Amino acid sequence: MADPRVLRAMATPLLGQFDPEFTAIMDEVMALSRLVFQTASARTFPVSGTGRAGLEAAMVSLLEPGDRVVIGECGRFGLLLEDLARRCDADAVVVRAEWGQALDPVAIEAALAQAPTKVLAVVHGETSTGVLQPLADLGRLARAYDALLVADVVVTLGGAEVALDAWDVDVAVGGTQKCLSCPSGLAPVAYNARAEDALRRRRSTVRSNYLDLGQLASYWSPARVNHHTAPTTMVYGLRAALSAVAEEGLPARFARHRLHGDALRVGVAALGLSLFGKEPPERRLPMLTPVLVPDGVDDVRVRRALLDDFGIEIGAAFGPLQGKVWRIGTMGYSARRQNVLLLLSALEQVLRHEGWAVHAGAGVDAALDHYRSAGAAASPEHDDGVEVRPNVR
Amino acid sequence: MADPRVLRAMATPLLGQFDPEFTAIMDEVMALSRLVFQTASARTFPVSGTGRAGLEAAMVSLLEPGDRVVIGECGRFGLLLEDLARRCDADAVVVRAEWGQALDPVAIEAALAQAPTKVLAVVHGETSTGVLQPLADLGRLARAYDALLVADVVVTLGGAEVALDAWDVDVAVGGTQKCLSCPSGLAPVAYNARAEDALRRRRSTVRSNYLDLGQLASYWSPARVNHHTAPTTMVYGLRAALSAVAEEGLPARFARHRLHGDALRVGVAALGLSLFGKEPPERRLPMLTPVLVPDGVDDVRVRRALLDDFGIEIGAAFGPLQGKVWRIGTMGYSARRQNVLLLLSALEQVLRHEGWAVHAGAGVDAALDHYRSAGAAASPEHDDGVEVRPNVR
């Protein structure tokens, strides 16, 4: 669900992109982005495309043909980083981990130690497997080996700690449609002086015009150097989304994602289902719960019934996990008690039709217990004052 | 101005990108796009970025390093095509014409005759100068020399004849924020079997992942091969915008753009101002009127006063024309009598303050005369039933 405040903002009439009213909005978006990325860097602005566009902007702007790049891969979005690097004709060294596990910093260090490396690129939140990759260690390694750390924070931004400056992340790329609860279409990026210096020291022209970070930064600066026509409406939406984050406050927002994700996981366990992956809770995404499809239960039929009969969409899995894992998101505006309880309630019904033995009400009761023990049942959750309707169309 | 129907559509709650309700919307967008591009090709879908992203998608997907490309340049957006081709490391041969003039087909043919050429890339509507480039001749030339004709139709799509199949245009790239009156952020593209064949025959991987037309086409097809997360809200907006075009009908829509553009030009002349450029009316854009800034009148001060005091934004000019030319758009939902008369009325006031001698009411009266003689004053213009407010914020 998009935040209703975001949707309302997107119905606002347009401003010209050099209208002082609009450039003031741009400045506000940059300031709010710095808060969410936890950075003081001035280079904090949205790329005019989805998260993938932001990631490609980072890679194509930093990497010249032949540049060495170490890529951590333990899921589909690590594979995307690999593809992006290869299309730049970079010398891509890929450090893999089993899907469902986090990257091993020792293996990353070994790859960095082999040869001078320009970029270390990793995924912070691997939504294909539910793994949360600790970044502070990798930030230290990148500095030690004089590489730039590029992190995909598409799913974590606004939902879990993303602390660029504290972790020495040089470039981070977010998305709007995950924990920011804004429609897909912009990629907030942030990069620091080290990355800016690398952009300036390039020997060759960036291969992309649309995704040339240096040009985009000149537009998103007091110079306002003309580039593409800003997607005004998306910028309105992003401003509303970031304002909602600032209003709630990062600690409260992260706690809310943790609370509802945990309630979901407790409920899922009470339905007799198991989570995919072997990492401990601190290396799992709070806002994305990967559930093993139990034997004898049909992946597609369950997702279809949830969507058609209950209006609830849960994610299919990718590649080797297809048909074996469901991915349930509790992100941004959707990270709320009603959604967790509705999903657990509906999932019980659908599993019953699949012949899966469930103790009636087990999932909902376990989640309610969790809310009670977490002391959250009494305190009203974050709300913008509009009537909250379940995620049913 | 965005069409209010488009803005309302953009406040619609989100659907998942593989939800059958959303894929039905995608199919509808493709069908409506075919109508607007006047093509039967199945490869008609929006790229998830602004017009520039669509143009880069066309160039980077078609051109391999070393491929010969002939580019027609008679303005800023021709220069963009040149930049895009160079970033592809293509062998770019640029045929230039003076800014304010159309390209000379004889010069284009001479360039094509020199060596085998993969792509001929031109701008249909050069918004930097107001020139409308006839495409049918260039389509014939491209076929004769076995090149693909790529046309930038960002400003013309939905506002003037764009007839892909009739003109043998192989790839066309539009924008949403001009005559479609949808916010910026998507680039409707269309390409035919010849272009598709060229994409398939590439020897090397496309250098971009985000803008790889072949991958995008696989997503915008019954196969629905997963790529980036579709910008759902922008797609809602585009559907509403294209539906508005279909409802009005292409001939009526083109006539409306012609009518209001002509009324504006008659009014501008009556204010004692001259148009920039020497091309005859049939090679001028109906929806973009370039006006010479008269001697003794300050470009910036006039635009600032129009924006601050009257809420009307007119465009500055680029490069060599900066400070010398105003560019006044009458596009899509904004191509309406009220806007033309409000602008002429306000411009008269602002010019008076600049010391420019104007006969009071001359611009408005000339435009009203034009409307009367065009027989349009009596017939209500296209409207969606909402209260029409002037372009004042």
Residue B323 has pLDDT above 70, yes or no: yes
CB atoms within 10 A of CB A69: 26
The verdict on a CB contact (< 8 Å) between A7 and B11 is yes
Percentage above 70 pLDDT, chain B: 95
Task: Report pLDDT digits (tens) over A258-287.
Answer: 999 999 999 999 999 999 999 999 999 999
A6: chain B residues, CB-CB within 8 Å: none
Whose structure tokens read 């975001």? A6
Task: Report pLDDT digits (tens) over B170-199.
Answer: 999 999 999 999 999 999 999 999 999 999
Residue B380: partners with Cβ closer than 8 Å, 6 or more residues away: none
Helix (H, G, I), strand (E, B) or coil at A219: helix
* B8 has a chain A CB within 8 A of its CB: yes
Those of residues 121-150 in B touching chain A at CB distance below 8 A are: none
Torsions phi, psi for B30 (to 5 deg): -65, -45
Give residue B17's pLDDT.
87
Tell which wins on pLDDT, B378 or A253: A253
Q: What is the dihedral of CA A106, A110, A116, A120, to 10 degrees?
A: -40
Confidence of residue B258 (pLDDT cuts 50, 70, 90): very high
Give residue A375's pLDDT.
82
CB atoms within 10 A of CB A160: 21
Residues A234, A349: contact at Cβ < 8 Å?
no
> Which domains, ranges and CATH numbers included, belong to chain B?
4-247 (3.40.640.10), 250-373 (3.90.1150.10)
A313: chain B residues, CB-CB within 8 Å: 16, 19
The verdict on a CB contact (< 8 Å) between A52 and B209 is yes
Average pLDDT over residues A82-108: 98
CA-based nearest residue in chain B for residue A230: B184
Confidence of residue B393 (pLDDT cuts 50, 70, 90): very low
For β-strands B171-173 and B187-191, DSSP reports them as antiparallel
Residue A298 has pLDDT above 70, yes or no: yes
Q: What does pLDDT average to over chain B?
A: 94
Give residue A211's pLDDT.
98
Nearest of B60, B38, B26 to residue B213 by alpha carbon:
B60
Give residue A381's pLDDT.
52
Give residue B381's pLDDT.
52
Six-digit token string for B256: 């409306």
Task: Report pLDDT digits (tens) over A13-53.
Answer: 999 888 999 999 999 999 999 999 999 999 999 999 999 99
Residues A150, A215: contact at Cβ < 8 Å?
no
Whether the ipTM is more than 0.90: the answer is yes
d(CA A123, CA A103): 10
Average pLDDT over residues A70-88: 98
* A210 has a chain B CB within 8 A of its CB: yes
* A78 has a chain B CB within 8 A of its CB: no
Beta-bridge partner residues of B291:
B275, B326
Give residue A284's pLDDT.
98
Residue B86 has pLDDT above 60, yes or no: yes
Give residue A390's pLDDT.
38
The verdict on a CB contact (< 8 Å) between B313 and A16 is yes
From A63's Cα to the closest Cα of chain B, the distance in A is 12
* A224 has a chain B CB within 8 A of its CB: no
Those of residues 155-194 in A touching chain B at CB distance below 8 A are: 175, 177, 183-185
B14: chain A residues, CB-CB within 8 Å: 1-2, 177, 183
Residue A353 has pLDDT above 80, yes or no: yes
